């Protein structure tokens, strides 16, 4: 029988009605996951939502793309292991409506720490707490299949899966779906997206034709320039096709969230 503490950890906590947590997740690195997270957070804020971009990847890319660095080492993991409020680590960006909770090197040990403390919904509890201040929380997740990814699934209202445009993209998506379904009884909706799509390449066109209903984000120099300018594409190249595709993807995300609330 579960202890009272364990039962409490498993219970669904209160969440403001119109808030949502969106996870950007892939089991494969190099598919544009951090770029997705940073740019979708921008779109969320442009849509009028108070938005938190929470970097759960030790590489710290999301914070970097907004010109931020962690306030210290070893603090990001403390939020999980010592029941410390994450609000003290949150940093404002140069744009209204977007805050960032950066990662640091301590995140590398987070999976082992989550297993040790035994709180299966620790991340969900933290997002429920933060939802009081943010209408949208965007999680930039590491490309892993472990306790952290399981916690992400339990916390998310929607999972966005960037996929490489190849004939194997559907197979890669099936792997993610199986991983997610294995970690929660009621898993959130999952939205696959073809990332870095270049229709001049035959394999990319084949992948798009095989999955015509999946949203796409193009391979574009404007997206690559995010790391140079340390700004989302909507800030430095607002009229670019890439910025427009991210805006369309955000509209699809909001439509998915609206379906879940009905």
Instruction: Write out pLDDT tens, residues 246-255.
Output: 999 999 999 9
> Is residue 144 over pLDDT 70?
yes
Do 38 and 121 touch, CB atoms closer than 8 A?
A: no
Phi first, then psi: give them for residue 195, nearest 5 degrees: -105, 145
pLDDT digits (tens, 9 = 90+) for 191-229: 999 999 999 999 999 989 988 999 999 999 999 999 999
The H or E element containing residue 54 is strand 51-55
Q: Which two tokens stand for residue 15?
A: 């969440």
pLDDT digits (tens, 9 = 90+) for 108-142: 777 777 777 667 788 999 999 999 999 999 999 98
Look at residues 38, 90, 45, 46 and name the one whose alpha carbon lies nearest to residue 66.
38
> Is residue 83 over pLDDT 70?
no
The pLDDT mean for the chain works out to 85
Predicted TM-score of the model (pTM): 0.88
Give the β-pairing of 190-197 and 158-163. parallel
pLDDT of 180: 77
pLDDT of 4: 29
pLDDT of 72: 66
Buried b (16+ CB within 10 A) or exposed e, 147-183: bbbbbbbbbbbbbbbbbbbbeebeebbeebeebbeeb
> Is residue 187 over pLDDT 80?
no
The H or E element containing residue 161 is strand 158-163
In this prediction, residue 262 has a pLDDT band, given cuts at 50, 70 and 90, of low
Look at residues 166, 144, 108 and name the one whose alpha carbon lies nearest to residue 33.
144
Report the DSSP beta bridge partners of residue 55.
140
pLDDT of 183: 65
Give the β-pairing of 136-140 and 20-24. parallel
Between CA 159 and CA 162, with CA 160 as vertex, the angle to 5 degrees is 145
In this prediction, residue 172 has a pLDDT band, given cuts at 50, 70 and 90, of confident
Section 145-163 average pLDDT: 88
pLDDT of 118: 67
pLDDT digits (tens, 9 = 90+) for 1-37: 223 233 334 445 555 668 999 999 987 778 889 999 9
Do 23 and 158 touch, CB atoms closer than 8 A?
A: yes
The number of beta carbons lying within 10 Å of the beta carbon of residue 23 is: 27
pLDDT of 43: 97
pLDDT of 85: 76
Least reliable range by pLDDT among 38-47, 140-149, 158-167: 140-149
The residues near 83 (Cβ < 8 Å, ≥ 6 apart) are none
- Percentage, residues of the chain above pLDDT 70: 88
Section 54-77 average pLDDT: 83
């Amino acid at each position: 029988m579960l202890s009272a503490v364990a039962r409490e950890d498993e219970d669904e906590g209160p969440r403001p009605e119109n808030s949502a947590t969106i996870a950007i997740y892939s089991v494969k690195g190099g598919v544009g996951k951090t770029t997705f997270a940073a740019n979708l957070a921008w779109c969320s804020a442009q849509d009028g939502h108070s938005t938190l971009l929470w970097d759960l990847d030790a590489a710290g890319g999301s914070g970097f793309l907004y010109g931020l660095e962690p306030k210290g080492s070893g603090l990001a993991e403390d939020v999980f292991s010592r029941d410390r409020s994450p609000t003290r680590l949150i940093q404002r960006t140069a744009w209204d409506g977007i805050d960032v909770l950066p990662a640091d090197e301590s995140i590398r040990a987070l999976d082992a720490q989550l297993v040790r403390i035994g709180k299966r919904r620790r991340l969900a509890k933290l997002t429920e707490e933060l939802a009081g201040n943010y209408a949208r929380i965007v999680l930039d997740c590491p490309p892993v299949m472990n306790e952290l990814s399981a916690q992400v699934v339990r916390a998310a209202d929607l999972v966005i899966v960037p996929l490489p445009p190849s004939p194997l993209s559907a197979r890669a998506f099936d792997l993610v779906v199986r991983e997610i379904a294995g970690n929660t009884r009621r898993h959130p909706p999952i939205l696959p997206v073809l990332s870095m799509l270049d229709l001049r390449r035959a394999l990319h066109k084949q992948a798009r034709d095989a999955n015509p209903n999946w949203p796409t984000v193009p391979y574009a120099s404007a997206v690559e320039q995010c790391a140079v300018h340390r700004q989302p594409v909507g800030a430095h190249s607002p009229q670019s096709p890439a910025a427009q595709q991210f805006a369309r993807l955000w509209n699809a995300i909001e439509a998915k969230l609206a379906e879940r609330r009905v």
